[in-house]
Homo-oligomer: A and B are copies of this chain.
């Protein structure tokens, strides 16, 4: 099965210089992929030419006259810029020309347009953003929501848990991943009302065998790899993700600065180069670039806005993997199973089902 990926080439800090280069590199190393590059045609063509990829058959271009900027309000992005590269890239998924769309643009706009164009899946109240972080066990920790919802009800968090588990199962090929609820302590009595009620819902799902709920986890458990999935509201998730990114940059700055301080430290770094390379690889945030917008009737992957070509290519990889593993179907099935619980079945009695036709 060939995976067709639409790229919003104009999004992100580096624009086409990063996005087109990443797309070309990915096409070169992947047989069964087609790219639809969406954005200003002349610029994209020029980038392709630079990369000697202007005659690559598996790359096509869709021209878009507008660009959603980081400063654009949702109103402007959604209502005024109907010919933006972001909008047209998402349209490719809606029109079934692409299996998945990747953008490094404005997160709020991407979520709003995706939701407007693609609509949410049945039984999903709110889409969420799920990203992957590395952990001590050398496995991925899936974390959601990372910013789509700054206010969440317990029911939303329950749905995030279901969707996260479906994504994990599809991509990692492991059933019943463990789910942790991000809290200020492990004990049941800890946390605010929303978290306590969410824990009750997740325990119910665990008892029914729908989810593998581990219980509360704390901030440090994200990197300890205590659970496969960490669920939280978008405010907490976004702040936490950016804080750890900030610490990562800080650590990198200190490492680089200290190793470059004098010839002795540079020599040490040179001799220990293999170690530093491995360290860089294990901790490189680029490898974890690409958040999935979950709960929509189509796949959309959000790259970090500051992604360079290397990092953006990882987001494309994430998109490819998600499409290849039928993530949307998995989520749709999981959400349907959730709703098909006994309580709901009773509510949907023949009488009630018939009522709309009567009125």
State in angstroms the CA–CA spacing of A250 and B283 once bound together. Answer: 9
**Segment with Cβ contacts to B, from A35-43, A89-97, A228-236:** A228-236
The 8 A CB mask of A259-294 against B (1 = contact, 0 = none) is 101001101111111111011001100000000000
A242 in complex: contacting residue of B220, B232, B274, CB < 8 Å: B220
Given known A-B contacts A219-B243, A259-B272, A268-B272, A238 and B278 have beta carbons under 8 A apart: no
Which residue on B lies nearest to A220, using beta carbons? B246
State in angstroms the CA–CA spacing of A73 and B188 once bound together. Answer: 12
Given known A-B contacts A136-B253, A184-B234, A258-B279, A243 and B269 have beta carbons under 8 A apart: no
Give residues of chain A (233-254) contacting chain B, Cβ–Cβ below 8 Å: 234-236, 238-251, 253-254
Task: For the complex formed, measure the closest distance between the CB of A180 and the CB atoms of chain B, giving whole angstroms.
Answer: 12
How many identical chains are in the complex? Answer: 2
Q: Does A204 contact B (CB under 8 A)?
A: no
Which residue on B lies nearest to A261, using beta carbons? B275
Task: For the complex formed, measure the closest distance between the CB of A151 and the CB atoms of chain B, giving whole angstroms.
Answer: 5
Which A residues are within 8 Å of any B CB, using their own CB?
73, 108, 134-136, 147, 150-151, 182-185, 189-193, 195, 218-224, 232, 234-236, 238-251, 253-255, 258-259, 261, 264-265, 267-276, 278-279, 282-283
What are 30 A-B contacts with C-beta separation under 8 Å?
Answer: A136-B250, A150-B190, A150-B191, A182-B239, A183-B239, A184-B235, A219-B240, A219-B241, A219-B242, A219-B243, A220-B245, A220-B249, A222-B243, A222-B247, A223-B243, A223-B246, A224-B249, A236-B236, A236-B239, A250-B283, A254-B283, A255-B279, A258-B275, A258-B276, A259-B272, A259-B275, A265-B275, A268-B268, A268-B271, A271-B271
